[in-house]
């Protein structure tokens, strides 16, 4: 790099909330190296000159160069200056997880303290021997009342007698499928779908029927055709859908409910994300309570460690049927988690955690939208994004190359049924604990997406 061009590539815009400026400079160097905008052997500007160019003080640049040096990106050559290091001199990168969909730690909320106080309250009110023995499957009256209170944030007219407490949404999904379909029956779904549904259907011997979909999701005509092909249940994730983050319109929800009722099939409404969205459309369970099994897990809104999900059935008989099916593989939810969850919900602690998770998730959405190319849905809500890829990349190739460079992302192929998966990846924003580390990961990913892939053929031995 000639001296005249020394500052040409330094088009760095500092981002509020992305960490100290010296780290943003170091991240910029790392991203530029990943994108081949800075090559091994390139000489970096003198620190004083770069400080003037970026409008920061000399100490900031000095700390940035030191940070980049610790990452193995730079090498100092005495009076000759500072240079981009050769690849062999760069250390192995720590894997940064953008693949696991989970809520971030809540902003302004001490989760450890809430956990300590919640367990202390549980110990005050319940005998240890009682908590450590077998409990009523599906939750006792207090747990179902707490579940109804939580579900009432999203669904109208919640009767506690229709609420079932399950050890996670996957168990709830499998139990509904066991109770209301038989081996060989079809489970109707959109082309892009939660992978847990595909796994459950395969293990239970059910067929997944892909219904025609458009930009607003499954179409009523597609649902009706799939019903004629043996569909017995309809699976929908209509709000901030996983993986696309699309939210289905109210009009489409009403049309799908009418088609399902006309076909005589039940709907499984998997709704882990609607509490992140202000003004979320009416739940399908509010539009057609007699036709919908509504599943809401706390794993995506509070913490996966609770291992608790609530199922709202169409009636009391459906609750008994699903409970009987669930007993074939899960005798009960963990009593200690049930006691803690109930205490958190009734005391308001669960809502406090949710508010903190929502605030942190929104800040991470804004950060991702500043650093990544997009395009993204209008609503900056939820804990994941769907990133379309430019020509030259395939989703599988990007997933593989990202892993080699210390990033975990999820290819569209994990969600798509059959050939022709869209060229995109899902980016999860919650599993990296620190926002500064998330900014580093997103900047590195943005550099990777923007560069042209080279030499991606697998080695044959």
Q: Count how many Cα atoms sit within 13 Å of the Cα of residue 212 in the half-sphere of its side chain.
A: 10
Q: Is 121 helix (H, G, I), strand (E, B) or coil?
A: helix
Alpha helices in 372-457 (DSSP H): 395-404, 435-450
The DSSP string of 27-60 is: HHHHHHHHTTSS-TTPBPPPHHHHHHHHT--HHH
Q: Could you tell me which CATH class the domain 111-348 is placed in?
A: alpha beta
pTM: predicted TM-score of the whole model, two decimal places: 0.79
Domain boundaries of the chain, sorted by first residue? 3-84, 96-102+353-450, 111-348
Domains 3-84 and 111-348 share a fold: no
pLDDT at 91 over 80: no
d(CA 438, CA 334): 33
Q: Count how many Cα atoms sit within 13 Å of the Cα of residue 100 in the half-sphere of its side chain.
A: 13
pLDDT average, residue stretch 141-155:
97
- Second CATH level (architecture) for the domain 3-84: Orthogonal Bundle (1.10)
Using an 8 Å Cβ cutoff, are 384 and 103 in contact?
no
> Tokens 């955690």 appear where?
353
pLDDT band per the 50, 70, 90 thresholds, residue 460: very low
pLDDT average, residue stretch 137-161:
95
> Mind listing the pLDDT tens digit for each residue in 409-455?
999 999 998 788 999 999 999 999 999 999 999 999 999 998 877 65
Domain 96-102+353-450 has CATH 3.90.1150.10: yes
> Mind listing the pLDDT tens digit for each residue in 213-246?
999 999 999 999 999 999 999 999 999 999 999 9
d(CA 286, CA 271): 13
């Amino acid at each position: 790099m000639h001296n005249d061009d020394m500052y040409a590539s330094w088009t760095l815009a500092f981002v509020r909330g992305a960490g100290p400026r010296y780290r943003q400079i170091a991240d910029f160097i790392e991203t530029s190296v990943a994108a081949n905008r800075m090559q091994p052997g390139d000489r970096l500007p003198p620190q004083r000159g770069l400080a003037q160019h970026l409008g920061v003080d000399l100490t900031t640049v000095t700390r940035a160069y030191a940070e980049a040096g610790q990452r193995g990106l730079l090498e100092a050559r005495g009076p000759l200056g500072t240079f981009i290091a050769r690849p062999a001199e760069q250390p192995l990168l720590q894997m940064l997880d953008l693949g696991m969909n989970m809520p971030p730690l809540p902003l302004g909320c001490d989760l450890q303290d809430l956990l300590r106080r919640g367990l202390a309250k549980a110990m005050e009110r319940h005998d240890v021997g009682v908590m450590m023995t077998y409990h009523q499957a599906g939750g006792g009256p207090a747990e179902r009342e707490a579940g109804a209170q939580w579900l009432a944030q999203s669904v109208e007219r919640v009767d506690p007698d229709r609420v079932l407490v399950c050890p996670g949404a996957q168990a709830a999904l499998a139990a509904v499928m066991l109770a209301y379909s038989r081996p060989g029956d079809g489970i109707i779904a959109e082309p892009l779908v939660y992978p847990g549904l595909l796994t459950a259907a395969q293990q239970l011997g059910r067929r997944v029927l892909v219904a025609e979909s458009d930009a607003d999701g499954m179409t009523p005509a597609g649902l009706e055709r799939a019903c004629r092909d043996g569909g017995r249940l309809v699976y929908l994730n209509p709000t901030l859908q996983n993986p696309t983050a699309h939210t289905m319109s109210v009009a489409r929800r009403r049309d799908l409910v009418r088609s399902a009722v006309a076909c005589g099939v039940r709907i499984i409404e998997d709704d882990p994300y609607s509490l992140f969205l202000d003004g979320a459309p009416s739940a399908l369970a509010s539009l057609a309570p007699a036709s919908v099994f509504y599943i809401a897990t706390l794993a995506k809104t509070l913490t996966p460690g609770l291992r608790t999900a609530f199922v709202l059935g169409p009636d009391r008989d459906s609750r008994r049927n699903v409970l009987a099916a669930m007993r074939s593989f899960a005798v009960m939810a963990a009593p200690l988690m049930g006691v803690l969850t109930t205490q958190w919900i009734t005391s308001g602690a669960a809502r406090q955690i949710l508010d903190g998770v929502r605030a942190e998730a929104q800040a991470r959405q804004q950060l991702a939208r500043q650093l990544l190319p997009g395009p993204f849905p209008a609503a900056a809500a939820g804990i994941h994004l769907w990133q379309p890829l430019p020509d030259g990349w395939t989703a599988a190739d990007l997933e593989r190359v990202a892993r080699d460079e210390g990033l975990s992302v999820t290819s569209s192929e994990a969600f798509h049924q059959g050939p022709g998966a869209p060229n995109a990846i899902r980016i999860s924003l919650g599993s990296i604990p620190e926002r500064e580390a998330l900014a580093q990961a997103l900047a590195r990913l943005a550099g990777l997406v923007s560069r042209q892939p080279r030499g991606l053929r697998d080695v044959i031995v």
